[in-house]
Amino acid sequence: MQEVTNYGKELREAIHAGEAAMQKLENAEKHLSSAKSWGWLDVIGGGAVISFVKHWKVNSAMEELEEVKKALWNFQRELQDINDCVGMNIEIGNFLVFADFFFDNFLVDLMVQQKISEMQDQVVNARINVNRVLKELYRIERGVEF
């Protein structure tokens, strides 16, 4: 009985961590979109004020992506707790590859619009993967009585 209770607790924690990661990913997507818009304005000759706003938006996006990285690490840890609890293996895909790729390379090329677009694509893909895992956790949760 204790194992079922522990499993239920770990399952709820993983769901909560996944939902938090989804929220962070959605926020990051909004920040990247804003940075991209300001970047295009700068590309077409926006001047000093536009450049300042663009840099501010890019910095905001970077801060959000740092939060995404933390949330994805937490989600991974919680999924591992479920795996340890019942010997189940829930794959989380390349979430952390996305985070590592971003932080290893994006700082150098931050102003490049193509890089922002690529990061938007990565965030969308991470959201799809987190959503897929959450659906599986919800399905498992419905089948378990606590």
Write down the domain spans for the chain. Answer: 2-143
Q: Is the pLDDT confidence value at 102 over 60?
A: no
Q: Which of 78, 86, 102, 72 is nearest to 14 (CA)?
A: 78
For 26, residues 6+ apart whose C-beta sits below 8 A from its C-beta are 127
Domain formed by 2-143, architecture: Up-down Bundle (1.20)
- Of the pLDDT bands very low, low, confident and very high (cuts 50, 70, 90), residue 107 is very low
Burial of 73 (0-12, 13-18, 19+ CB in 10 A): middle
Instruction: Count CA within 13 A, CB hemisphere, residue 144.
Output: 19
Global confidence as pTM: 0.72
Nearest one of 5, 23, 17, 11 to 136, comparing CA atoms? 11
- Report, as an integer, the average pLDDT of 7-17: 90
pLDDT digits (tens, 9 = 90+) for 20-76: 999 999 999 999 899 888 878 777 777 778 878 888 888 898 899 889 999 999 998
DSSP string, 22-63: HHHHHHHHHHHHHHHHHHHHHHTT-HHHHHHHHHHHHHHHHH
Cβ partners under 8 Å of residue 74, min gap 6: 17, 20, 21
